[in-house]
Structure 1
Amino acid sequence: MPVLPSVAVVILNWNGKSFLEKFLPSVCGSTYPNLQIVLADNASTDDSVAFVKEHYPQIGIVRNPRNDGFAGGYNDALQHVQADIYVLLNQDVEVEPGWIEPVVNLMQQDPKIAACQPKLRAYAQRDEFEYAGAAGGWMDILGYTFCRGRILYTTEKDKGQYDDVQDIFWATGAALFIRSHCFHEVGGFDRSFFAHMEEVDMCWRLQRAGYRICYCPDSVVYHVGGGSLPQGNPRKLYLNFRNNLMMLWKNLHSEDRWIVLVQRFFLDILAAVKSLVAGKPKDMMAVYRAYKDYYKWRRTYVKTDQLPEMKLMKMNGVFHGIMIWRYYFLRRKYFSTLNH
């Protein structure tokens, strides 16, 4: 009988005792046999670590000296975790007992599958896809990210319409399965991102390294979402805009970089003006600060990876069109209608 890959479910925690109380029971009920569960604590100031030590002594604990966000927190913690496959799981996710087995089985079919995600449904509306990952992450030709089952703020009900295994562009950081050697091979997350888009950036680098990213519909998890920064928060908007621009500069083929970024500049100005007209000046300022800090970052950026350049149009999970044009002007609200 073949030996099952070792799996480490690593939960990044920052002052999340209430989430841990609610969701650790489901994680500890996982049926995968070759499993360890690890709490990676980002210098919490509540008693969440003491709670886990008392009630879940079987869970390993890695304590980071400071809160370096999602990207830095996982990069530091995973230096201390030994497993064939890491599962990076948000603290606000409920899982089903057999959620690990289907994903591992899929990844075992091809060593080139570096990362994979389960189906993400909303914890509060359990028949709907959830914003953070839905049925797999995609990107359009201008770098706008969306998901099968979720475009911008429109989420679909899960009616089995995306129950096929599929190559995707990016796998959600809320429940990310990734081969440990692949994570370290491409340098893990970019810690300068702090939070938001870091999983998209890493999956882009994995594809450039010749790996596949997949979606596994036979595994289902339920995500609360917005546990650290809720939707509509100007800080979240700032990070999404800034990190998206940084990601594009780092990963786009040199022949495409300026073409894409110039178009993005004008579209982002439109988004900022739209926010102002809608009576949301803080959102407009978030876009302004994102561009200011992006240009500051670019002046000092030094390319560190040696990965080959790859044309975006040749990658998996790329929509060969402009998503926001289809969404706002052609009223294509669902993934299945984008091409119509």
Structure 2
Amino acid sequence: MEQIKININNSSYQTAIVILNWNGLADTMECLESIQQYCIAENFFIVLVDNNSSQAIEPLIERKWAIPVLILKNHENSGFAEGNNIGTRLAMEYKPEYVLLLNNDTVLLDNVLAKMTSTLQKYPDVGVVGAVNYYFSNPEEVWQAGAHVSVKTGNIKLAEVDPAQEITMVEYVPGSSIMFRAFLADKVGLLDPNFFAYSEELDFCLRVKKENYGVVFIPDARILHKVGKSSPMAAKEYLRLRNKFYLFKRHSTPADFIKISIKETAKAFAKAGIQLVKKGTFVYYTAIYDAIVDYKHGRFGKGKFEKFLKLK
């Protein structure tokens, strides 16, 4: 994989920011610009993994950045999970204390990096911190900050954001802005590439909590997130259902897993019915069928993702 170094002058940095780009050059540029605007005084560098985009990234390379950026050109689309893992493994060569996985379709509103690192320094029992994600299209509305998750029922309830709290304990923070202590990569492993995309950050956070490290979000750390700009819904539903089976099989008891699987399948059928009425298409039922079959036969990773990208 080809590496391009921009302002990489140190052998080590306190924080590595891993950003994944896949045909989102304009978003990635805006994300980097916000980091440069607010975090330039921090001891960090960026590992930007281009996940085999068909869109040329030369404008990004040619830009006169004032921040250290290490660009890695991946020769295949490894998915969200493994794409971030590739960037994290490279980042580890620079001995960071902290790693921040940041979506390329996010924009910082202030020095979120300093707020995250200071929280980890203040609370040694916390292993993962996240920011509050606000809709880019509506900066006053919270999209997601974290969630309370039950591995017994499969229920996932979004946590409320209380500005009066310094930190909020949760089971999960969204992978769009998740910082963890670098040594946890060795202790619990990286994101599981079997997920490809969706639920991988929840799985990671649950593994961190099993090692008795807390997962929190910081109400005062705010970013904007351009939610909903990725794959068509059928492709998402295929991955989401298959991955929910995989997730709760790992973290729930056998009896609870059966109940959760039935509930998640029923929810997927309800969504498919709505899409049938709205769009007159059966593709969402096909996505459910393939999700169940692929899970049963252990076909994980990318699976049928690209098939559903082509189906509307």
> Same fold by TM-score, threshold 0.5 exceeded?
yes
Aligned residues of 2:145 and 2:173 also touching (Cα < 8 A): no
Quote how far apart the aligned CAs of 1:117 are. 0.1
1:289 aligns with 2:297: no
Aligned residues of 1:119 and 1:135 also touching (Cα < 8 A): yes
Quote how far apart the aligned CAs of 1:292 are. 1.3
Offset from partner CA, 1:6-50 (integer Å, 9 cap, x none): 1111111111112123332112113342121221111222112x2
Instruction: Name the CA distance, whole Å, in 2 between partners of 1:269 and 1:87.
Output: 33
Instruction: Name the CA distance, whole Å, in 2 between partners of 1:38 and 1:185.
Output: 22
Partner of 1:270: 266
Aligned residues of 1:135 and 1:162 also touching (Cα < 8 A): no
Q: What are the equivalent positions in structure 2 for 1:40-189 lying under 5 Å apart?
A: 40-48=49-57, 50-57=58-65, 58-81=68-91, 82=94, 83-130=96-143, 134-140=144-150, 141-149=152-160, 160=162, 163-189=165-191
- Cα distance change, pair 100–166 in 1 and its aligned pair in 2 (3 A): same
Instruction: Name the CA distance, whole Å, in 2 between partners of 1:36 and 1:279.
Output: 43
RMSD (Å), alpha carbons:
2.3
Q: What are the equivalent positions in structure 2 for 1:169-248 lying under 5 Å apart?
A: 169-229=171-231, 233-248=233-248
Offset from partner CA, 1:90-127 (integer Å, 9 cap, x none): 01101023211122111112222111101111111111
Quote how far apart the aligned CAs of 1:136 are. 1.4
Quote how far apart the aligned CAs of 1:188 are. 0.2
Instruction: Name the CA distance, whole Å, in 2 between partners of 1:162 and 1:267.
Output: 36
Over the matched positions of the two proteins, sequence identity in percent amounts to 25
Instruction: Name the CA distance, whole Å, in 1 between partners of 2:128 and 2:265.
Output: 34
Aligned residue-pair number: 277
Aligned residues of 2:126 and 2:213 also touching (Cα < 8 A): yes
- Cα distance change, pair 289–146 in 1 and its aligned pair in 2 (3 A): farther
- Cα distance change, pair 276–123 in 1 and its aligned pair in 2 (3 A): closer
Instruction: Name the CA distance, whole Å, in 2 between partners of 1:142 and 1:54.
Output: 50
Offset from partner CA, 1:107-163 (integer Å, 9 cap, x none): 112222111101111111111111xxx2312213322434224xxxxxxxx7x5674
Partner of 1:8: 16
SS of the residue 1:261 aligns to: helix
Partner of 1:336: none
SS of the residue 2:133 aligns to: strand
Equivalent AA in structure 2 for residue 217 of structure 1: P
- Cα distance change, pair 53–298 in 1 and its aligned pair in 2 (3 A): closer
Instruction: Name the CA distance, whole Å, in 2 between partners of 1:234 and 1:110.
Output: 41
TM-score by length of 2: 0.82
- Cα distance change, pair 56–40 in 1 and its aligned pair in 2 (3 A): farther
Quote how far apart the aligned CAs of 1:266 are. 2.8
Partner of 1:333: none
Aligned residues of 2:42 and 2:114 also touching (Cα < 8 A): no
Instruction: Name the CA distance, whole Å, in 2 between partners of 1:209 and 1:271.
Output: 32
Instruction: Name the CA distance, whole Å, in 2 between partners of 1:242 and 1:286.
Output: 9
SS of the residue 1:265 aligns to: helix
SS of the residue 2:104 aligns to: coil
Aligned residues of 1:275 and 1:284 also touching (Cα < 8 A): no
SS of the residue 1:297 aligns to: coil
Aligned with residue 43 of structure 2, among 24, 34, 44:
34
Aligned residues of 1:173 and 1:199 also touching (Cα < 8 A): yes
Equivalent AA in structure 1 for residue 220 of structure 2: D
Aligned residues of 1:268 and 1:287 also touching (Cα < 8 A): no
Instruction: Name the CA distance, whole Å, in 2 between partners of 1:208 and 1:288.
Output: 33
Partner of 2:257: 261
Aligned residues of 1:63 and 1:77 also touching (Cα < 8 A): no
Instruction: Name the CA distance, whole Å, in 1 between partners of 2:275 and 2:76.
Output: 36
Unaligned stretches of 5+ in structure 1?
A: 150-157, 300-340
Equivalent AA in structure 2 for residue 259 of structure 1: A
Quote how far apart the aligned CAs of 1:225 are. 1.3
Aligned residues of 2:47 and 2:87 also touching (Cα < 8 A): no
